Amino acid sequence: MIVGINKQKHKFLTERLEKLKELSQKSSNEEIIDEGKILETELVRLEDSLNQYDLLLQQLASSRDAYNSIYEDVSLNAYKFIRKVRKHT
């Protein structure tokens, strides 16, 4: 009789242990899913930041090109002015 009770208890505890393993798997899966959602959100934020950074770099390049163009125009005009002054003196 004691052996029968121990077998039933063992079977019950084994089933309970399996259920606990499934529950812990589910909770860890839920944690993984939650972590995945957090990572996706952070990835979207990172993409937005990179897009803003890229836009700022494009604006900076455009400003640099405009500055270079102005610098070349001023340099050329200054050179022409100096040549005219030297010719007349």
**Domain boundary assignment for the chain:** 1-89
pLDDT in tens, 33-89: 888 888 888 988 888 888 898 999 999 999 999 999 999 989 888 888 888 888 877
Containing 47, the helix (H) or strand (E) segment is helix 2-88
**pTM tops 0.85:** no
Count other Cβ atoms within 10 Å, centred on residue 89: 5
pLDDT at 65: 95
Angle CA(67)–CA(68)–CA(73) in degrees, nearest 5?
Answer: 100
* Residue 1 banded pLDDT, cuts 50, 70, 90: very low
The residue-averaged pLDDT of 4-23 equals: 75
* Token pair belonging to 2: 């004691």
pLDDT at residue number 5: 63
